[in-house]
Amino acid sequence: MVETPDPPSGEDPRPWDPERLAAEIRPHLQRTVERLCPRWLRPRCDDIVQVAVLRVLRSREKTEENRPPPAAFLWKVALATTVDEIRRATRARESSGDGALPDGPAPPSGEPDQQFAAREIEAAIRDCLARLAPRRRVAVWLYLLGHSIPEAAGLLAFDEKQTENLIYRGMADLRNCLRVKGLKP
């Protein structure tokens, strides 16, 4: 929360100034895009930021609002724009029939054995999740993504006790399923 020593009128007296607004929001969009951008897409980060800036400006154009939008909105735009560009670049790579374009996805960093094991467990988690009853599946998935029981309950409109049971039983099923696959996380 920030206080700014502006005139006390409660209104923004400035005329619509998209350039100034763009200058204000750009650093925040840039930081978020850079954090989200995979390494292979980093050369295009500036382009992604520019698209994100334009998207935000379009949303403010109607009301000619000079104040930056809430952080959540900026980050939503940054995430959506980055994902759009990832998908666009991936489609372009696939349609070219060349999976090894210079700007295509690079292999992840880390020890190859660890990468392989993690990828194997990740695929097994998805497979085991798919075997759970739908309500358990979603509750467990939210839990694995770090949502608390109250958060998961709120998102799914279940009561907390019900959600806790879904997660508890779903996690037991998931662990058993992974064990059957011979995997021990």
Partner 1 sequence: MSVDETADRRLREILGEVPLEGDATPDCPSPETIWDAASGLLPPGRVGSLGEHAAGCRACTAIWREATILTRAAATGGGEARPSRRPPTHGMGIGWPLLAALAATLAVTIVGVCLFQLDPPPAGRTAVQREPEARSIRSLVPEAAPIARDEFQLRWTEGVAGARYRVQVTTADLDLLAEGRDLGSPEFLVPVAALRDVASGETVLWQVEAVAPDGSRVTSPTFLARLR
140-179: which residues touch partner 1 (CB under 8 A)? 140-142, 144-150, 154-157, 167-168, 171, 174-175
Q: Which of 69, 162, 165, 181 binds partner 1 (CB under 8 A)?
A: 69
Q: Which of 13, 70, 102, 182 binds partner 1 (CB under 8 A)?
A: 70
Question: Which residues have a Cβ under 8 Å from the Cβ of 101 and sit 6 or more positions away?
Answer: 93
CB atoms within 10 A of CB 121: 15
Radius of gyration of the chain (CA): 22
Q: Which residue has the tokens 């700007």?
A: 103
In the bound complex, what is the minimum distance in angstroms from residue 96's beta carbon to partner 1? Answer: 16
Q: Which of 21, 30, 32, 177 binds partner 1 (CB under 8 A)?
A: 32
Contact 105, 90 (CB under 8 A): yes
CA–CA gap between residue 57 and residue 52 (Å, rounded): 9
Q: Which stretch binds partner 1 (CB under 8 A): 13-21, 46-54, 64-72, 95-103?
A: 64-72
Q: Is 129 in the site for partner 1 (CB under 8 A)?
A: yes
Q: Which of 138, 163, 173, 177 binds partner 1 (CB under 8 A)?
A: 138
Could you give the angle at the alpha carbon of 28 between the alpha carbons of 155 and 55, nearest 5°?
A: 75
Q: Is 182 in the site for partner 1 (CB under 8 A)?
A: no
Q: Which residue has the tokens 């060349």?
A: 98
Q: Which of 57, 105, 165, 181 binds partner 1 (CB under 8 A)?
A: 105
Question: Which residues have a Cβ under 8 Å from the Cβ of 85 and sit 6 or more positions away?
Answer: 41, 44, 47, 48, 51
Q: Which of 18, 22, 28, 45 binds partner 1 (CB under 8 A)?
A: 28
Compare residues 6 and 98 and give the one whose CB is closer to partner 1: 6
Q: Which stretch binds partner 1 (CB under 8 A): 15-23, 35-43, 46-54, 95-103?
A: 35-43
